[in-house]
């Protein structure tokens, strides 16, 4: 009998230790990834409660600031006043922070006073676009006040809904752009217009693109479009593999680059076609599509150029998984044939660097 009791005790201990490890992994993953720089706060809510507005999670500001500065420096990019928008990833900074510098490093903050954020919704279903009801986004680097006038203007159109503050707080797609924007616009007065882009049908993407196009030709406006690229592996239920490219990660890269090339053409219909053919798990496909429609409908000629492509790790077997990160700048095309910017744009091409996996943990969605 005592032997049976001992075995049961050991079994229970085993189960409990398993549970403990499970909790550690989940909790650890969550802290590190989704709430890596958890930075959202909203004035009204806090004011009503008579509380100070402060980030939920304390993060060493100096470290974050230095990290971002280092990545921006390492990108070696020259700021251009002609860059009106970026497409940038939104994973934890240990995964995509470096790649993101190739988007945000293009921004010349001098004349920009407003940044529209277009981010996909990860946790909340809506077939529409939704506006933030917060008044300020706080980051460890600095506050980004929300442009309440433009929010009112957009709200008045009746085309957008309002997102619940809980949805706003839970969504990391725009959140992960904030510390970078706060850094790039440090010392400049800038406001943000956060727009959560739901699971839009093609006609809604076109409608929102036409509607928002009027904001594009104002050089004071800037657009920060949030997306990761392929989420590959059984955990993402996406394992498209075309053997003609060689290793799995090469196939993923070929698939992503096909999408990036299409985005660079600026044709939202071709992008739609690509998505329906290959089902690439580009989480920001709706914000990207809206942005393509905006560019198509605005009077100035703006061209998207991808400057960086990375993968969180190199998939070699079907047990592996990875997330891809691609950074792009959307730049006004200068007509003069002698303009250095145009020459620069025409000659720029991808920088082909795949980095080794930064961590063994899985990147977030």
Ligand X SMILES: *[C@@H]1O[C@H](CO)[C@@H](O)[C@H](O)[C@H]1NC(C)=O
Collapsed DSSP state (helix, strand, coil) of residue 288 = helix
Chain residues 209-268 in contact with ligand X, contact rule CB under 6 A = 240
Q: Which residue has the tokens 């605005």?
A: 298
Cβ-based nearer residue to ligand X, 108 or 320: 108
The interface region with ligand X, picked from 104-112, 140-148, 173-181, 195-203 by CB under 6 A, is 104-112
How far apart are the C-alpha atoms of 229 and 311, rounded to whole Å?
A: 9
Interior CA angle at 168 toward 108 and 89, to 5°? 45
| Residue 188 burial (10 A CB sphere; 0-12, 13-18, 19+) | exposed
**Both tokens assigned to 346:** 């025409």
Q: How far is Cα 116 from Cα 212, in angstroms, rounded to an integer?
A: 10
Closest approach, Cβ 111 to ligand X, in A, equals: 4
CB of 281 to ligand X, least distance (A): 10
CB of 239 within 8 A of CB of 232? yes
The residue whose Cβ lies closest to ligand X is: 81
Closer Cβ to ligand X, 317 or 338, answer by number: 338
- Site residues for ligand X, 111-150, by CB under 6 A, read 111
* Residue 255 DSSP SS3: helix
Q: Does 347 bind ligand X (CB under 6 A)?
A: no
CA nearest to 221, candidates 364, 305, 114: 114
Residue placing its CB nearer to ligand X in the complex, 240 or 296: 240
Using CB under 6 A as the criterion, what x/- string covers residues 261-300 for binding ligand X?
-----------------xx---------------------
CB 346 within 8 A of CB 303: no
> Least Å distance between CB 341 and ligand X?
12
Nearer to ligand X, 188 or 355 (CB): 188
Task: Using alpha carbons, select from 294, 263, 283 the residue that is nearest to residue 325.
Answer: 283
User: Quick one: tokens of 308?
Assistant: 């960086």
Residue nearer to ligand X on the CB measure, 109 or 119: 109
Determine the interface stretch with ligand X among 68-76, 103-111, 261-269, 299-307 (rule: CB under 6 A).
Answer: 103-111
| Cβ closest to ligand X, residue 111 vs residue 301 | 111
> What is the Cα 194 distance to its own chain's centre?
13
How near is the Cβ of 218 to ligand X at its closest, in Å? 12
d(CA 242, CA 27): 36
Instruction: Output the smallest distance, CB 158 to ligand X, in A.
Output: 34
Backbone dihedral region of 279: left (phi > 0), alpha (psi from -120 to 50 degrees) or beta? left
Q: Is 108 in the site for ligand X (CB under 6 A)?
A: yes
- Among 29, 55, 81, 145, which residue sits at the site for ligand X (rule: CB under 6 A)? 81
Tokens found for residue 182? 């706060």
Tokens of 312: 């969180």
Residues 11-50 that bind ligand X (CB under 6 A): none
338 binds ligand X (CB under 6 A): yes
Q: Is 360 in the site for ligand X (CB under 6 A)?
A: no
Check if the beta carbon of residue 252 is closer than 8 Å to that of residue 282: no
CB of 230 to ligand X, least distance (A): 12
Closest to ligand X by CB, 80 or 135: 80
User: Contact positions toward ligand X, by CB under 6 A?
Assistant: 81, 108, 110-111, 240, 278-279, 336, 338
């Amino acid at each position: 009998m005592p032997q049976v009791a001992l075995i049961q005790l050991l079994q229970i201990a085993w189960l409990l230790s398993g549970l403990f490890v499970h909790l550690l992994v989940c909790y650890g993953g969550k802290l590190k990834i989704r709430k890596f720089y958890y930075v959202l706060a909203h004035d009204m809510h806090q004011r009503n409660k008579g509380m100070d507005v402060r980030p939920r999670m304390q993060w060493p500001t100096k470290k974050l600031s230095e990290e971002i500065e280092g990545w921006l420096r390492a990108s070696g990019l020259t700021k251009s006043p002609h860059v009106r928008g970026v497409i940038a990833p939104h994973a934890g900074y240990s995964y995509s922070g470096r790649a993101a510098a190739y988007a945000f490093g293009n921004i010349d903050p001098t004349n920009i006073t407003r940044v529209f954020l277009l981010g996909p919704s990860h946790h909340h279903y809506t077939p529409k676009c939704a506006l933030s009801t917060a008044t300020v986004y706080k980051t460890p680097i600095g506050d980004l006040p929300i442009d309440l006038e433009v929010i009112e203007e957009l709200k008045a159109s009746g085309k957008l809904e309002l997102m619940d503050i809980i949805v706003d707080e839970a969504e990391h797609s725009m959140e992960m752009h904030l510390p970078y924007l706060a850094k790039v616009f440090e010392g400049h007065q800038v406001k943000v217009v956060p727009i959560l882009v739901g699971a839009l049908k093609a006609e809604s993407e076109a409608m929102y693109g036409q509607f928002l196009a009027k904001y594009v030709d104002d050089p004071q406006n800037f657009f920060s479009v949030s997306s990761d690229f392929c989420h590959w592996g059984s955990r993402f239920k996406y394992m498209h593999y075309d053997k003609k490219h060689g290793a799995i990660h090469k196939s993923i890269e070929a698939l992503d680059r096909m999408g990036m090339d299409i985005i660079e053409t600026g044709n939202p219909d071709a992008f739609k076609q690509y998505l329906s053919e290959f089902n690439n798990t580009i989480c920001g496909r709706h914000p990207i599509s809206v942005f393509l429609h905006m560019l198509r409908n605005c009077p100035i000629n703006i061209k998207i150029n991808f400057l960086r492509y990375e993968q969180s790790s190199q998939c070699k077997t079907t047990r592996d998984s990875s997330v891809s990160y691609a950074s792009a700048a959307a730049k006004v095309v200068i007509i003069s044939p002698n303009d250095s910017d145009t020459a620069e744009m025409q000659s720029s091409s991808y920088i082909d660097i795949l980095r080794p996996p930064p961590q063994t943990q899985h990147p977030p969605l």
